[in-house]
Amino acid sequence: MKISLAKSSPLSQTNFTYGVATAAFQIEGAADSRRPCIWDTFCATPEKIKDGSDGLQACDHFNRWEQDIELIESLGVDAYRFSVSWPRVITQSGELDHQGVAFYVQLLDSLKQKNIKSYVTLYHWDLPQYLEDKGGWLNRETAYHFRDYVDLITQAFGDRVHSYSTLNEPFCSAYLGYELGIHAPGLKSKAYGKQAAHHLLLAHGLGMQVLAKNSPNTLNGIVLNVSPCYPKTNSEQDKKAAWAADQNLNHWYAMPVLEGRYPESINSLPEEELPPIQEGDMAIICQPLDYLGLNYYTREVYQDAGNNQREKWVDESLPFTEMGWEVYPQGLTDILLQLNKQYTLPPIYITENGAAMADSYQDGEVQDLDRIEYFQGHLQAVSDAAEQGVDIRGYFAWSLMDNFEWAEGYEKRFGIVYVDYATQQRTIKASGLAYRDFISSRQLAKSAQSQRSQYGQR
- How does DSSP classify residue 278? P
Nearer to ligand FCB, 21 or 285 (CB): 21
Q: Are 378 and 319 in contact (CB under 8 A)?
A: no
Query: Annotation-wise, does 455 bind a ligand?
Result: no
CB of 398 to ligand FCB, least distance (A): 5
Indicate whether 103 belongs to the interface with ligand FCB (CB under 6 A): no
Query: Annotation-wise, does 251 bind a ligand?
Result: no
In whole angstroms, what is the distance from residue 59 CA to residue 237 CA?
Answer: 46
The 281-300 site mask, x for binding ligand FCB (CB under 6 A), equals: --------------x-----
CB of 168 to ligand FCB, least distance (A): 5
Contacts of 126 (CB under 8 A, 6+ apart): 23, 24, 25, 37, 38, 39, 83, 85, 86, 87
* SS3 of residue 375 by DSSP: helix
Number of H helices, E strands in the chain: 15, 15
Q: Output the CA–CA distances (angstroms, integers) from residue 45 to 30, 40, 58, 122, 136, in the order listed.
A: 20, 9, 18, 26, 17
Nearer to ligand FCB, 168 or 431 (CB): 168
Among 61, 405, 410, 429, binds ligand FCB (CB under 6 A): 405
Q: Give the ranges where 260-411 is alpha helix by DSSP (H).
A: 281-285, 330-342, 369-387
Indicate whether 129 belongs to the interface with ligand FCB (CB under 6 A): no
Indicate whether 168 belongs to the interface with ligand FCB (CB under 6 A): yes
Indicate whether 327 belongs to the interface with ligand FCB (CB under 6 A): no
Question: Under rule CB under 6 A, how many of the chain's residues touch ligand FCB?
Answer: 12
Nearer to ligand FCB, 125 or 243 (CB): 125
* SS3 of residue 339 by DSSP: helix
Indicate whether 435 belongs to the interface with ligand FCB (CB under 6 A): no
Q: Which residues are catalytic?
A: 169, 352
CB of 21 to ligand FCB, least distance (A): 8
Among 172, 289, 336, 348, binds ligand FCB (CB under 6 A): 172
In whole angstroms, what is the distance from residue 55 CA to residue 62 CA?
Answer: 12
Nearer to ligand FCB, 80 or 414 (CB): 414
Indicate whether 414 belongs to the interface with ligand FCB (CB under 6 A): yes
- How does DSSP classify residue 326? B
Within 46-75, the residues that bind ligand FCB by CB under 6 A are: none
The 350-369 site mask, x for binding ligand FCB (CB under 6 A), equals: --x-----------------
Q: Are 18 and 70 in contact (CB under 8 A)?
A: no
Q: Are 68 and 92 in contact (CB under 8 A)?
A: no
Contacts of 309 (CB under 8 A, 6+ apart): none
Where is the binding site for substrate, in residues? 26, 124, 168, 297, 398, 405-406
Binding site: which residues? Answer: 26, 124, 168, 297, 398, 405-406
Binding residues (CB under 6 A) for ligand FCB: these are 23, 26, 168-169, 172, 225, 295, 352, 398, 405-406, 414
